[in-house]
Amino acid sequence: MVRLEGQVGGADLLSRPLTTTLAPGTARAMAALGVRTFGDLLRYYPRRYDDKGTVTDLAGLVEGEHVTVIAQVERANLRSTRTGKALLEAVVGDGVHELRITFFAGHPAKLRHHQSALQRGQRAYFTGVVSRYNGQLQLTHPQFAPLEADDDERATWPAPVYGASAAISSWQIEKAVHLVLDPLSADEVQDPLPGEVRAERGYLPLVTALRQIHQPHTSDEWRAAAARLRFEEAFVLQAELARRRARTAAEPAVARPARSGGLLDAFDARLPFELTEGQRAVGDQLAAELARTSPMQRLLQGEVGSGKTVVALRAMLQVVDAGGQAALLAPTEVLATQHLGTLRALLGDLAAGGELGGAEGATRLALLTGSQPMAARRRALADAASGAAGIVVGTHALLSDRVQLADLGLVVVDEQHRFGVDQRNALRDKARAVPHTLVMTATPIPRTVAMTVFGDLETSTLTQVPAGRAEVETHIVPADRPAWMERTWQRVQDAAANGARAFVVAPRIDPDEKEPGDDGVDLLADTGRRPLSSVVEVADQLRARLGPASVAMLHGRMTPEDKERAFADFASGRSPVLVSTTVIEVGVDVPAATVMVVLDADRFGLSQLHQLRGRIGRGDRPGLCLLVSAAPEGSDAAERLAALAATRDGFELARRDLELRREGDVLGAAQSGVASSLRLLRVTRDGAVIERARTAAQGLVAQDPELAGHPALRAAIGSLLTGDREEYLDRA
């Protein structure tokens, strides 16, 4: 039960532990829900609101779900079981559907009180876990509370329903909230929303919003409260992101203006293709920001094959022309090596500085990885330290203390989410002044997510694909159709025979643990129950079909040397089929690749499948993507695959992906701290709210960069940055 143990009040009210006010058992039950302080309790908002005068529609109850419902007692019967125990069985309903309520006890006397409370026609709250007995849904030993049928005005108010547990019911949580909220005054609660922001947008003061979210008299009241609290969540987050942007903008950076007649002009003059309108527009944007004395902080996102690498290279060449160096940080050795090869192919003799046949004014490229031979590493370190290498490409090895750069002017980070804060800062610390930063991602990000996940970066987007890219067809292959599977492997064999390349992606490296009777299953022809596909088994079976030398294998457990060898064999055509995990998902560019087979495709997300598909059709030959799946028709997985087959528009797929995923999935594991702080705001739904909050926060920070005049907002930001939430925000 809830009980009051002393006077509520004081300046530190919201940080006060609930153990000082609630009974020990109640406080423990609340702590299990993550609610430990007065502030936690006031921010533990209702899940929904019921009408006390209307019973709950029971049609939507799901077995195993913990629910709170309002229902009317239709009948109740107290009897003895065959074992001699007492059983009280009641049936409650909503006028159409019924729900069994059962209580057991050693003696009928122990159930008399329940029996007297569950009279026919009585409406009551019931809370418990839905189970099934003899085909009928039921609640066993639920907590319940009769609703009094009176004419009091409260009987017409919306009834809040909280996320409860077996240890504490929704109405017990409601009583605890009332205990803390009823004596609360405005001066005991600091409002993070400045008065001018509230007034301009018509939002309620915090205390009023808390009262109306927990104790609404009408549905309009709780809706107005929820709107204010949702905006507050967005505003606090955007205020901190705006403050971080302002801090970075205030730091001095070395201007790197474009220079006429330099490497960039020479590169543009020999480009064998026309830049897209989008590439030109983003390039002009980057050029202008690099020429400023405040550091560029920009996210470059683009459709698969949209030409982000060319845009980034042009920015790097501008910095080199201005006397600086650029560093390109990649998450894997395969990708770093791929980037180096792509840059060399694009630059030609412009990357052969000091070498025989090098162009006038050419620079050098250096590669730094953890596995390269010592002699090559020494040369790369020397070129980086002397400045002879205008562009340095590397993995985490680039962050080593031994790596020195002469004049680092631009940091390009590919797939930034794969690097930690300390790693990114280690690269920045190698510069004499704050370097300009360009972050690239190949995953299309809807604007609402970009504003939240990369909110301290300005965003540029490439949506056009350069002319000349081949079409790619996508088909779903039922895993249990032998003829379809045989045709799939034939298409792989045809590609290999015709001088093209084929990727085969599997979700595991090693085979799944075999069940009895599964020994010797042939993944290429199996018509029955299928284990999860593995790289090792599929590679072995394809080698038996195509020949040992025709199939290369690539996965994360291989040594760097073996990875490089396998990829080189594939790219050159010595091994025209590559069986791999998703390590080839990002950045791999093999123009001859025309076939992509994804095994157990239902195990992957939409964005990941889109990235995998983007590895083919990068040359002038048409591509074919085959998604092998055993997902039942109508399932979420089947919907994902159907969406992928229907369009190549990455931004449309990203939108669909948001619709199919939970909020925590959208923000990702690294952002779990912030995901847990978003109680009402939904990145997938509340884009307009985030836009308004971003505008308001930017205006406030422009006037008061460190929020010195807004202590309540600073305190709210401090609360937001507890635990792993600061790791989430510190992304640039």
Q: Minimal CA–CA distance to 664: which of 723, 586, 611, 728?
A: 728
Give the bridge partners for 474, in sequence order: 625
- Collect all residues with Cβ–Cβ distance below 8 Å to 485 and sequence separation of at least 6: 477, 479, 524, 525, 628
User: What confidence score (pLDDT) does residue 671 get?
Assistant: 42
Dihedral of CA 307/308/311/317: which sign?
negative
User: Is there a contact between 664 and 724 (Cβ–Cβ < 8 Å)?
Assistant: no
Domain 263-290+305-441 identical in fold to domain 472-648: yes
Q: 263-290+305-441 is classed in which CATH architecture?
A: 3-Layer(aba) Sandwich (3.40)
User: What confidence score (pLDDT) does residue 453 get?
Assistant: 62
User: What confidence score (pLDDT) does residue 153 get?
Assistant: 58
- What's the residue count for the chain? 732
User: With 0-12 CB in 10 A as exposed, 13-18 as middle and 19+ as buried, what is 13?
Assistant: buried
User: What confidence score (pLDDT) does residue 215 get?
Assistant: 94
Query: pLDDT by residue (tens digit) across 163-185?
Result: 888 788 888 999 999 999 999 88
User: What confidence score (pLDDT) does residue 129 get?
Assistant: 86
Looking at beta carbons, which pairs linking 58-64 to residues 24 or more positions away fall under 8 Å?
A: 58/93, 58/94, 58/96, 58/97, 58/98, 58/99, 58/137, 59/94, 59/96, 59/97, 61/99, 61/130, 61/137, 62/130, 63/130, 63/131, 63/132, 63/137, 64/129, 64/130, 64/131
Q: If you ran DSSP here, which 8-state letter would residue 351 be given?
A: G
Query: pLDDT by residue (tens digit) across 252-271?
Result: 999 999 999 999 999 999 98
* Per-position DSSP letters for 184-218, written without gaps between them: --GGGS--SS-HHHHHHHTPPPHHHHHHHHHS-SS
- Sequence spans of domains, the chain: 48-161, 263-290+305-441, 472-648
Segments of the chain with pLDDT less than 50 = 1-11, 151, 421, 513-523, 525-529, 662-676, 724, 727-732
CATH number attached to the domain at 472-648: 3.40.50.300
Name the one residue in this structure whose structure tokens are 């329940």.
Answer: 114
Superfamily of structural domain 48-161: Nucleic acid-binding proteins (2.40.50.140)
Q: Rounded to an integer, what distance in angstroms lies between the CA atom of residue 409 and that of residue 290?
A: 9
